[in-house]
Amino acid sequence: MSNTRFAIIALLVGAVLAVACQFIQNDYFFNAAYTVLLYAILSTAWNILGGYTGYVNFGTAAFFAIGVYSSIVLYKAFHLPLGLLIMAGTVIAGVAGIGLGYLTLRLRGHFFAIATLALAVMLFTFVTNWDYAGGARGAYVLVPREVPFGFPRYIRYLFTVMVGLTVLAIIVARMIERSRLGQGLAAIRDDELAAECAGVPTLRLKLIATALSGGMMGLAGTTFPFFISFVEPVGAFDLRYAVNAIAMPVIGGMTTWLGPLLGAVLLGTVQQLVQVTISSAWNLLIVGVLLVGFVTLAPEGIMGWVLAWRARRSKPT
């Protein structure tokens, strides 16, 4: 399927989904669905670097928080409309991705992972001490009284925006997968030295991957202040973003765009259900158990399972 065709189909599916959901009466559904979509974007973003390129990033929360705080600051300073805030946050997080890449991409394997963790800690300290952005106390973001486009509630509007952003993220991820860039990234993942010998410009491709991945994580964060309306550093840098962004692609499967989406929808939904029925304290525990289960029993994730099953079926026995 060509990129254009896939994009059209994805946009259509997104539009149908967004419209169909408007018929749901319960507003809480939109809260839950927003969170699931947030994770879908985060895990799609993480997978560009973690799945396609093989570089594990523990700093998801840092890029996410860059998106969150860029929206807070720019909204407070200039009252920019949501569309511009989304673009600004994405670009800033993308630039941060390039910066992180320049400093750390010469490191391989574990060392890169540790460096990304350090980035999150550094930014956390910075934001905690930044008074204009609310510092340790946190910042309130007042949701505009007028809901755009005649949506009855602001959360319904945010949810619809999030559906659009998720579709966008998935289209980008799939385009990368099928491109020469994706081919080069896969070569880096399989054997970086061999990729270098083959003339793959490894550093440049890795920088592109961190920029895209980081920018997309920022994108996920840009609408968050309007969703939660009160942001403080501990919440914005929460461990669950980094953990979920890794767990969801691992559970779904890391080699295709569908894997992170599947993982996010499944794991995200389970977490939302557990949060309502039992307690949110269980969420990370569930992630942990599922992660251990999948890594030991199905290391290729759900998609790997499906692909293996299809290969078995197509082979005449």
Partner 1 sequence: MANEQHTAQADMPTPGERSPDARGGASLRVEGVSAGYGAVQVLQHVSLEVTDGRTVALLGTNGNGKSTLMKCIMGMVTPSSGRISATIDGVEHDLVGLPTERIVDLGIALVPEGRRLFPRLTVEENLLLGAYRPAARSAIARNLDFCFEAFPRLHERRTQLAGSMSGGEQQMVALARALMTVPRILLIDEPSVGLAPIFVSRTIDKIAELKERYRLTVLMAEQNFNQAIRIADSGHVIVHGHLEFHGRTRAELSDNDMVRKLYLGA
Residue 308 within binding range of partner 1, rule CB under 8 A: no
Residue 200 binds partner 1, judged by CB under 8 A = yes
Instruction: With CA atoms as reference, report the closest residue to 107 among 41, 179, 58.
Output: 58
Which residue stretch of 14-22, 40-48, 75-83, 198-206 sits at the interface with partner 1 (rule: CB under 8 A)?
Answer: 198-206
The residue (of 41 and 211) whose beta carbon lies closer to partner 1 is 211
Stretch that binds partner 1, among 2-10, 117-125, 199-207, 209-217 (CB under 8 A): 199-207
Q: Quick check: 37 and 17 in contact, CB under 8 A?
A: no
191 binds partner 1 (CB under 8 A): yes
Site for partner 1 in 157-186 (CB under 8 A): 180, 183-184
Nearer to partner 1, 150 or 316 (CB): 316
Among 10, 203, 266, 286, binds partner 1 (CB under 8 A): 203
114 binds partner 1 (CB under 8 A): no
How many chain residues touch partner 1 (CB under 8 A)?
18
Residue 193 is a binding residue for partner 1 (CB under 8 A): yes
Q: Could you list the residues that contact partner 1 (CB under 8 A)?
A: 180, 183-184, 187, 190-191, 193-204
